[in-house]
Amino acid sequence: MQLTTDVSWLDSLLPEGITIPSSTLISGPGGTGKPLVGFAFLSAWLRAGGSVIALPLQYPNPELTKSGIYKLYNMDLNDYSGKMVYIQFDPQADRTEKISEDMLKANMVKPEVWEETIEMAEKMLRQGGPGTLVFGSALNLLLFSQTYQNSILRKLEDTLKNDKSRTYLFAVSTSALVDKIKVLEGAADNLMFTRIEKPGKLFFRIERMKEVEFSAQETQVPIGKEMLDELSNVADSTRKTRIPEIKKI
């Protein structure tokens, strides 16, 4: 089974879409629009009747995800009640906590908490269509933990390489811990890269795909400078506050 996005610039590179289930990693320097590209797959997944577990570590609340998907892909996530659960990353949390009918809070640095929280989120969803997509962005932040760096890296690597019970789409920054990120790049079925050219030009290319034809040609993504700058500012703010917290874990 494959899923196409109905996003013209992306479907021109991926005419057969992505294989379901599979794992996808979007990699590139910080602030290069990785989650904005990922939103194309997320919105297509929901339109196909699937469910989404969203873990955008760089966003302090769901509103930034909702705003980005609405502006870029004309989708109101409020119309998908029961089909999407957000996981709010809290480095200080002792356990997984249900905040509302569509939100959990957890310290995802700990591998056992990662598994527990994903399973809890999936039980909150109405299933259908292509099943469950787990969308995580800025997951490189988890690797700053002094205690759990290696164990959460192994967990993410194993998830990308071996877990076919769900489809996974992760975005990671290569601005630090490059050797750790290369492990994840090697584990994913599908590998994609983003980069920025000033002023505000976002470029995207595909390195490999599982079981589908694709174009490896780099293309400029039609996402405006204003949105890219907003993303970069949020990412910078998150790094300044989150990384010192995570290093203490």
Tens of pLDDT along 3-48?
999 999 999 999 999 999 999 999 999 888 999 999 999 999 999 9
- Residue 48 contacts residue 36 (beta carbons within 8 Å): no
Neighbours of 141 (CB within 10 A): 25
Instruction: Report how far residue 209's alpha carbon sits from residue 203's, in angstroms, rounded to the nearest whole number.
Output: 18
Tens of pLDDT along 186-200?
999 999 999 999 888
Going by pLDDT thresholds of 50, 70 and 90, the confidence category of residue 90 is very high
How far is C-alpha 86 from the geometric centre of its chain's CA atoms? Answer: 12
Q: Whose CA is closest to 242, among 95, 102, 88?
A: 88
Tens of pLDDT along 141-166?
999 999 999 999 999 999 999 999 99
Residue 121 has pLDDT above 90, yes or no: yes
Q: What percent of the chain has pLDDT over 90?
A: 80
Going by pLDDT thresholds of 50, 70 and 90, the confidence category of residue 83 is very high
| pLDDT score of 58 | 86
Architecture per CATH, domain 2-247, reads as 3-Layer(aba) Sandwich (3.40)
- Residue 221 contacts residue 203 (beta carbons within 8 Å): yes
Torsion of CA 104, 107, 108, 113, to 10 degrees: -80
Strand partners, 172: 27
Tens of pLDDT along 47-57?
999 999 999 99
Residue in the block written with tokens 């050797």: 179
Torsion of CA 204, 135, 228, 238, to 10 degrees: -130
